[in-house]
């Protein structure tokens, strides 16, 4: 196993240092993340006053998480014998670039893998190992479910929107992971050969024989981009992420079963390819529809002030205020707006008792801040009136083409 781990690490390092096509894909992914960061940082600046994290921190987290997740998933792909030819990697990259133009959430490996597999069945001229491609999509889908679950407490951006004519709060979630994945391929030039220690593995997706193949069986590496988009209106964002993670992992398990069957039953491969696209899209649509049909958790209230979010390290977090709470009073002073909170705390009290309504039950939260006192809670509230609200459909379906069209429209109107 150590020999296999060393071979996987060596192939990843070689790809980052010497493979120009691999580096081009990395640059495209970073450009993609940068454009996404600009849009979401503007949303966060509108709500929080400043972005929650810098572009540098976002890219560092993207790369480091991707390396760890990619190294782990590479063990599974090599152990399963996932064999993909170099041309297939190029096809996947071209498909990803096309999808990038239409909707950012389509830039997800299962979409590209499903489209390529379907095209290979339709045209018959593309040399694509569909069972291996489905297996890789299944592994990455289960990996996405795990990553979504592990990061369920971060990456949620609060926004204001309209629901039944009233203002309500919501949380948008969009996360990316750049996953370098090592797999088996036929080497057309000198490269990393498959280690001897891997010969004893089951490898259900490996070729039966390499005799007559164009090259020796070795290792190669590709970049897979995973994009998770979600919205939370009727559910706490952490609970929504956990639920979505379970759906994604279950979907990955179904894909894996179809990939195993497709080795001997050809039409199952086509069914799996279609499911790669429709199943992934179905999960996204189901997630959105259930939230929009539910009762919003963060609607404005007639009595008190609804809490949409609590800032990390704030006084509100220290005293136990939670998302969705309704602040009724501070030190017996009724609260109806953020201005009312400022009035109640203007004298920097060192001791406060705050009456909140949580799940239809009133609670008293006591807080001591000696010796200086405090004058801010550190919350994002849901006002009864808000000049700026967001069309969630526009944010959910951002695309490069739409951005270009909007730029031309604004140019024409200004001219």
Is residue 222 located within the same domain as residue 268?
A: yes
pLDDT band, residue 353 (cuts 50/70/90)? very high
Total number of domains constituting the chain: 2
Domain boundary among 293, 324, 341: 293
Q: pTM here?
A: 0.85
pLDDT of residue 344: 92
Contact at 8 Å (CB) between 108 and 147?
Answer: no
* pLDDT confidence tier of residue 400, bands split at 50, 70 and 90: very low
pLDDT of residue 405: 45
Residue 163 has pLDDT above 80, yes or no: no
The DSSP line for 317-358 is HHHT--TT-EEEEETTEE--SHHHHHHHTTT--SEEEEEEEE
Q: CATH number of the domain that 322 lies in?
A: 2.30.42.10
Among the residue ranges 130-134, 238-242, 302-306, 384-388, the one predicted with the least confidence is 384-388
Same domain for 213 and 129: yes
- Residue of 188 and 167 predicted with greater confidence: 167
Q: Is 363 exposed, middle or buried (0-12, 13-18, 19+ CB in 10 A)?
A: middle
Rounded mean pLDDT of 68-97? 89
Residue 30 has pLDDT above 80, yes or no: no
Q: Does residue 392 have a pLDDT over 80?
A: no
Q: Are 22 and 16 in contact (CB under 8 A)?
A: yes
Is the Cα torsion angle 288, 289, 292, 298 positive or negative in sign? Answer: negative
Average the pLDDT over each of 49-53, 192-196, 318-322 and give the range with the smallest value.
192-196
Q: Residues 50, 181: one domain?
A: yes
Helices 109-123 + 130-150 axis angle, to 10: 170
Which residues lie across from 176 on neighbouring strands? 227
The average pLDDT across 394-415 equals 48
The pLDDT value recorded for residue 209 is 47
User: Is the per-residue pLDDT at 368 higher than 80?
Assistant: yes
* In a shared domain, residues 87 and 132: yes
Residue 323: domain span: 305-382
In a shared domain, residues 142 and 36: yes
Q: Residue 395's pLDDT band (boundaries 50, 70, 90)?
A: low
Residues 352 and 214 in one domain: no
Whether 217 and 322 share a structural domain: no
Share of the chain above pLDDT 70, in %: 86
Is residue 70 exposed (0-12), middle (13-18) or buried (19+ Cβ within 10 Å)? buried
Spatial neighbors of 238 by CB under 8 A, at least 6 apart, are 152, 153, 156
Q: Is the pLDDT of residue 295 over 60?
A: yes
Both 120 and 73 in one domain: the answer is: yes
Q: Does one domain contain both 144 and 244?
A: yes
Same domain assignment for residues 47 and 140: yes
- Single out the residue in 293, 316, 337 at which a domain terminates: 293
């Amino acid at each position: 196993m150590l020999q296999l781990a060393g071979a996987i690490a060596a192939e990843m390092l070689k790809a980052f240092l010497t493979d120009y096509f691999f580096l081009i894909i990395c640059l495209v992914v970073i450009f993609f993340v940068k454009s996404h960061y600009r849009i979401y940082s503007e949303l966060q600046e509108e709500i929080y006053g400043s972005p929650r994290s810098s572009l540098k921190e976002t890219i560092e987290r993207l790369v480091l998480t991707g390396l760890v997740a990619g190294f782990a998933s590479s063990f599974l792909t090599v152990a399963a014998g996932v064999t993909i030819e170099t041309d297939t990697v190029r096809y996947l990259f071209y498909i990803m670039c096309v999808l990038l133009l239409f909707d950012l959430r389509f830039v997800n490996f299962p979409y590209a893998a499903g489209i390529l597999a379907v095209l290979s069945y339709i045209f018959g001229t593309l040399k694509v190992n569909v069972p291996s491609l489905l297996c890789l999509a299944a592994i990455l889908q289960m990996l996405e479910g795990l990553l979504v679950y592990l990061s369920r407490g971060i990456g949620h951006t609060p926004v204001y929107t309209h629901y039944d004519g009233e203002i309500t709060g919501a949380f948008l979630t969009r996360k990316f992971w750049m996953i370098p994945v090592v797999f088996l391929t036929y080497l057309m030039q000198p490269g990393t050969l498959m280690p001897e220690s891997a010969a004893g593995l089951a490898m259900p997706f490996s070729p039966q024989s390499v005799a007559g193949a164009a090259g020796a069986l070795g290792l190669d590496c590709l970049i897979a981009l995973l994009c998770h988009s979600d919205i939370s209106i009727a559910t706490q964002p952490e609970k929504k992420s956990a639920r979505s993670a379970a759906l994604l992992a279950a979907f990955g398990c179904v894909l894996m079963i179809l990939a195993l069957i497709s080795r001997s039953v050809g039409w199952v491969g086509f069914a799996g390819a279609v499911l790669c696209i429709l199943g992934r899209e179905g999960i996204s649509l189901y997630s959105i529809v259930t939230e929009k049909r539910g009762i919003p958790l963060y609607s404005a209230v007639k009595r008190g002030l609804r809490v949409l979010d609590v800032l990390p390290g704030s006084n509100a977090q220290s005293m136990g205020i939670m998302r969705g709470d309704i602040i009724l009073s501070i030190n017996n002073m009724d609260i109806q707006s953020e201005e009312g909170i400022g009035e109640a705390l203007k004298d920097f009290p060192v001791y406060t008792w705050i009456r909140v309504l949580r799940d239809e039950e009133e609670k008293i939260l006591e807080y001591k801040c000696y010796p200086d006192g405090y004058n801010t809670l550190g919350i994002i509230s849901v006002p009864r009136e808000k000049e700026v609200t967001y069309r969630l459909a526009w944010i959910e379906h951002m695309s490069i083409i739409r951005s270009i069209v909007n730029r031309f429209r604004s140019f024409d109107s200004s001219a």
